[in-house]
Structure 1
Amino acid sequence: MKRLVVLGGGESGIGTALLAKANGYEVFVSDKGGIKEKYKEVLIHNEIEWEDTRHTELKILNADIIMKSPGIPETADLVREIRKCGIPVLSEIEFASKFTNATLVGITGSNGKTTTATLTHHILRQELNVGLAGNIGDSFAKQVYEEDFENYVLEISSFQLDDCIGFKPHIAVLLNITPDHLDRYDYKFENYIASKFRIARNQTKDDYLIYDADDEVIVNHLKYHPVQSTLLPFSLIKTIEKGAYLDKENIKITIDNTEIIMPTSKLALEGKHNIKNAMAASTVAHLLKIRKQTIRESLENFQGVEHRLEQVLKINKVQYINDSKATNVNATYYALESMDAPTVWIVGGVDKGNDYQELFSFVNEKVKAIICLGVDNEKLMSTFGNMVDIIIETQFMSEAVKIAYKIAEAGDSVLLSPACASFDLFENYEDRGRQFKNAVRKL
């Protein structure tokens, strides 16, 4: 009997433990922090051995395989010990993919993953039996264990890809690559780029790679590191023969000489970046033989994702917008780009080596005040201090929203788009977004 040790008792860890036990593995779950009560109950009910608040090396280093949570970095002492022992380390995505024959759609990129994965799933589920997993909802492993869909849309982060060895999605989507999480990649952008491209490394010519042809980082990497996959680019500025492009006000997608045309005016989601997300999702749907009418209708009625440019409330003619999911500069770039009213911008958190320069033109043009919400706001204060008349710092969401309420006038927008991780003041970006919405509702 093979022994699988799961490091991290969160969603992906518990799912992996269940799937492994059902497939005859001896399983041990170890979490250095605390495991949530609901997960402990699952482990006890399924008679899976576990520990929390510590890692017992004797029980870990005798594993045949280790599945580590994507949140645990390679630099952790325990991971170094595991590598020294030569024990294979897999991600949950890699492990679960071995136990399903489903058609896999893998979606990655620095920004837009959740929106594109959710939108793709929304279109496909109209006609197919399909699960949505990865960085979103119930874990992939748990879904394979419980109901094993015939198709999966997987939102995959670079951390998950780092421990993928044989993973091979039939359709891979690479939305964009901008510097993010560089603290995990020795501050080398090329390491992060290589990590994203792992999504296509095992693909053959019978598989597809859908990618943004306007993204120079992706295009350059493909030039010097070609992949085996059939390429289907999408673009807002080039004419694409095989793939998707913008022709005036219409999205045109051509695959195997069949064409689908979709007016952008009918898209439920606004902004240039969402035209790209729609192109990527529609290309996947087209490949999986979803009817054109279904694709069109799904794009028109898609409601978007919580914490992503989510319109919360209008109070005294001021629109409050929750974009808590913007955990890097590029995501905030999209948010500020889509603002068409004077904006009070709430920003800050854990800076991952951010370069704010690409935001300068938007800040000068659209932002009337900045509220820095973080434990350490020094970099924000010095970067933007001279650009706006009002810049204030706080460490409480309720206070940030009250300050915004005082500053904003009729016709303005208040935008929470932090450009940073949330872990200094909040549990995660969802917690940050919900606190923002609660504070707005209490105004």
Structure 2
Amino acid sequence: MNDELVVLGGGESGVGSAILAKVKGLSVFLSDSGLLKEEHRKTLLDHGIDFEEGGHSEEKILQASEVVKSPGIPDTTPLMRKIREKGIRVISEIEFAGRYTNARMICITGSNGKTTTASLIYHILKSAGLNVGLGGNIGRSFARQVAEEHYDYYVLELSSFQLEGVYDFKADIAVLMNITPDHLDRYDHDMQKYVDAKMRIVRNHKMGDSFIYWMDDPVVTKELEKLKPASDIYSFTEKNNHLATAYSEGNKMYIQTKGTLFDMELELLALQGMHNLYNSMASGIVAKLLDISDDNLRLALSDFKGVPHRLEKVASVRGVQYINDSKATNVNSCWYALQSMRTKVVLILGGTDKGNDYSEIEDLVRQKVRALIFLGKDNSKLHAYFDGIVPSIEDAGSMKEAVDAAYRLAKKGDTVLLSPCCASFDLFQNYEDRGNQFKDCVRRL
């Protein structure tokens, strides 16, 4: 065995890891079973990094001293099985990059809300003048930032896949928004395996570290009783129960930390709706733990612009509002979206089903949805569940078909909502591509 680091996957995360390895003087080889994007290929060539694409040289890979694996590669692939059998250590980009920085780590995970919360925390800290980077499952590669920049703080959005490969890495402030079923196809349809991956966010926590969570989440509450992390624990909830750190009462949000009480009118928050109140509360607790002033926090919570593809208002056409929630790749995300709707809805659902249970949204669909449009290669599971629940259901084979059908079915005052509950890989490159196509089609109406 040589002392070469092998990076599997040549996306943003893999290329960043390879650059960091090179900068730190390690021998590194990157391998991708598919073809690399032109920009990634050029970056690797510019840095003089040894790489291959369109297949894996197994013999070379199995000589590695350590493998940095892209979060998208499951452990069940034949190559990953061989790597594990040989006893080669497999880590994530997060674990690898964490070795080379002393910055304070603010890490956010959860089945829903993590992108918005991570973006909001980053916005608050940056607005307050802190030297902060944003990475993980969002924005630029964390490893590449560690290689090329110098930040005192990192705000990292972490998926369960990224957390699987974390061992010595520690979040100084860990935020867990919620745990609902998601990606169960990746976890042998075993909810506990998914929960265990999420709870790795408090791995290595000791006294002085902070853990922030949603007090009303039964799954997280149960896990906390089992794990009993040594960290200081802070919680948020909708209504004041005299136990939570952050809560709402009357028309205000309150955050009580370190003997101080922050308050802000709910209507001044840039993000509206119950799920967004939780995002604002969690972000506000982080801000107060980092001694951000009340004035700076109020300003940042009121002028935040939101996240693309997450309840993003696209346009109003003939009295119908079109909303792009393409980032809703699981059922719980769609539940939040429907819950925040104040009008009748034409809902566009469908894509690659990850073992979804649609019963969670059934009541809201019955109450609010005028028509359903199924956008996917195989809509049989959606039909089996929703046929007979909504009077009008149509299938669409492309985004244009879906938007045209929605235009026809919606009545003045309605909302057309793209909130698919599913991954996008059957018809689109990713959820961004799906959302961008939706926006293009709406703007052409």
TM-score bracket, shorter-length normalisation: over 0.9
Residue 372 of structure 1 aligns to a residue whose secondary structure is strand
Among all aligned residue pairs of Structure 1 and Structure 2, give the percentage whose two residues are the same amino acid: 52
- CA distance in 2: counterparts of 1:84 and 1:220, whole angstroms: 34
- 1:238 offset after TM fit, Å? 4.5
Contact 2:107 / 2:173 at 8 angstroms: preserved in 1? yes
2:438 aligned partner: 436
* Range 309-318 or range 253-262, more displaced: 253-262
Q: Does 1:109 align with 2:105?
A: no
Q: CA RMSD in A?
A: 1.0
Which deviations, in whole Å up to 9, do the C-alpha atoms of 1:410-434 show, x marking residues without a partner? 1011000000000000000000000
Q: Does 1:11 align with 2:15?
A: no
- 1:241 offset after TM fit, Å? 4.4
Contact 2:240 / 2:249 at 8 angstroms: preserved in 1? no
1:315 aligned partner: 317
1:219 aligned partner: 221
Question: Which residue identity lines up with residue 429 of structure 1 in the other structure?
Answer: Y
Which deviations, in whole Å up to 9, do the C-alpha atoms of 1:188-236 show, x marking residues without a partner? 1011111101010111011000000011111111112211111001111
Residue 310 of structure 2 aligns to a residue whose secondary structure is coil
Which deviations, in whole Å up to 9, do the C-alpha atoms of 1:240-271 show, x marking residues without a partner? 44621122222111112111111111111111
- 1:389 offset after TM fit, Å? 1.2
2:387 aligned partner: 385
- CA distance in 2: counterparts of 1:307 and 1:203, whole angstroms: 33
- CA distance in 1: counterparts of 2:244 and 2:343, whole angstroms: 38
- CA distance in 1: counterparts of 2:46 and 2:227, whole angstroms: 48
- CA distance in 1: counterparts of 2:223 and 2:110, whole angstroms: 14
1:306 aligned partner: 308
- CA distance in 1: counterparts of 2:38 and 2:60, whole angstroms: 22
Question: Which residue identity lines up with residue 62 of structure 2 in the other structure?
Answer: L
- 1:136 offset after TM fit, Å? 0.6
Contact 1:3 / 1:64 at 8 angstroms: preserved in 2? yes
1:72 aligned partner: 73
Question: Which residue identity lines up with residue 414 of structure 1 in the other structure?
Answer: V
- CA distance in 1: counterparts of 2:398 and 2:186, whole angstroms: 28
Residue 21 of structure 1 aligns to a residue whose secondary structure is helix
Change (3 A) 1:96 1:364: same
2:42 aligned partner: 41
Which deviations, in whole Å up to 9, do the C-alpha atoms of 1:393-420 show, x marking residues without a partner? 1110001000100111110110000000
Which deviations, in whole Å up to 9, do the C-alpha atoms of 1:264-299 show, x marking residues without a partner? 111111110000000000111111111111111111
Contact 1:307 / 1:322 at 8 angstroms: preserved in 2? yes
- CA distance in 2: counterparts of 1:210 and 1:341, whole angstroms: 34
* Range 223-232 or range 2-11, more displaced: 223-232
Matches within 5 A, 1:21-40: 21-40=22-41
Residue 179 of structure 1 aligns to a residue whose secondary structure is coil
Contact 2:312 / 2:323 at 8 angstroms: preserved in 1? yes
TM-score where L is the length of structure 2? 0.98
Question: Which residue identity lines up with residue 191 of structure 1 in the other structure?
Answer: K
1:400 equivalent among 395, 398, 402: 402
Matches within 5 A, 1:62-141: 62-126=63-127, 127-141=129-143
Question: Which residue identity lines up with residue 202 of structure 1 in the other structure?
Answer: N
Contact 2:215 / 2:244 at 8 angstroms: preserved in 1? no
Change (3 A) 1:10 1:240: farther
- CA distance in 1: counterparts of 2:45 and 2:384, whole angstroms: 51
1:203 aligned partner: 205
Contact 1:66 / 1:88 at 8 angstroms: preserved in 2? yes
- CA distance in 2: counterparts of 1:49 and 1:251, whole angstroms: 53
- CA distance in 2: counterparts of 1:281 and 1:144, whole angstroms: 23
TM-score where L is the length of structure 1? 0.99
* Range 208-217 or range 233-242, more displaced: 233-242
- CA distance in 1: counterparts of 2:398 and 2:243, whole angstroms: 51
Matches within 5 A, 1:172-321: 172-241=174-243, 243-321=245-323
Q: Size of the alignment, in residue pairs?
A: 443
Matches within 5 A, 1:331-342: 331-342=333-344
Contact 1:233 / 1:240 at 8 angstroms: preserved in 2? no
* Range 218-227 or range 110-119, more displaced: 218-227
Structure 1: unaligned runs, 5 residues or longer:
none
Residue 307 of structure 1 aligns to a residue whose secondary structure is coil
- CA distance in 1: counterparts of 2:120 and 2:307, whole angstroms: 9
Residue 342 of structure 2 aligns to a residue whose secondary structure is coil
Which deviations, in whole Å up to 9, do the C-alpha atoms of 1:58-110 show, x marking residues without a partner? 11011111000000001011111011111111100010011001011000000
Residue 33 of structure 1 aligns to a residue whose secondary structure is coil
- CA distance in 2: counterparts of 1:371 and 1:243, whole angstroms: 41
- CA distance in 1: counterparts of 2:38 and 2:110, whole angstroms: 33
Contact 1:242 / 1:255 at 8 angstroms: preserved in 2? no
Question: Which residue identity lines up with residue 274 of structure 2 in the other structure?
Answer: K
Residue 96 of structure 2 aligns to a residue whose secondary structure is helix
Contact 1:241 / 1:254 at 8 angstroms: preserved in 2? no
- CA distance in 2: counterparts of 1:44 and 1:392, whole angstroms: 48
Residue 130 of structure 2 aligns to a residue whose secondary structure is coil
Contact 1:239 / 1:246 at 8 angstroms: preserved in 2? no
Residue 382 of structure 1 aligns to a residue whose secondary structure is helix
Q: Does 1:2 align with 2:12?
A: no
- CA distance in 1: counterparts of 2:245 and 2:142, whole angstroms: 28
Residue 236 of structure 1 aligns to a residue whose secondary structure is strand
- CA distance in 2: counterparts of 1:201 and 1:303, whole angstroms: 32
Contact 1:211 / 1:233 at 8 angstroms: preserved in 2? yes
Question: Which residue identity lines up with residue 117 of structure 1 in the other structure?
Answer: A
Residue 239 of structure 2 aligns to a residue whose secondary structure is coil
Runs of 4+ in 1 over 4 A off after TM superposition: none
Contact 1:176 / 1:218 at 8 angstroms: preserved in 2? yes
Question: Which residue identity lines up with residue 189 of structure 2 in the other structure?
Answer: Y
1:171 aligned partner: 173
Question: Which residue identity lines up with residue 69 of structure 1 in the other structure?
Answer: S
- CA distance in 2: counterparts of 1:267 and 1:383, whole angstroms: 37
- CA distance in 2: counterparts of 1:77 and 1:38, whole angstroms: 29
Contact 2:237 / 2:244 at 8 angstroms: preserved in 1? no
- CA distance in 2: counterparts of 1:374 and 1:356, whole angstroms: 16
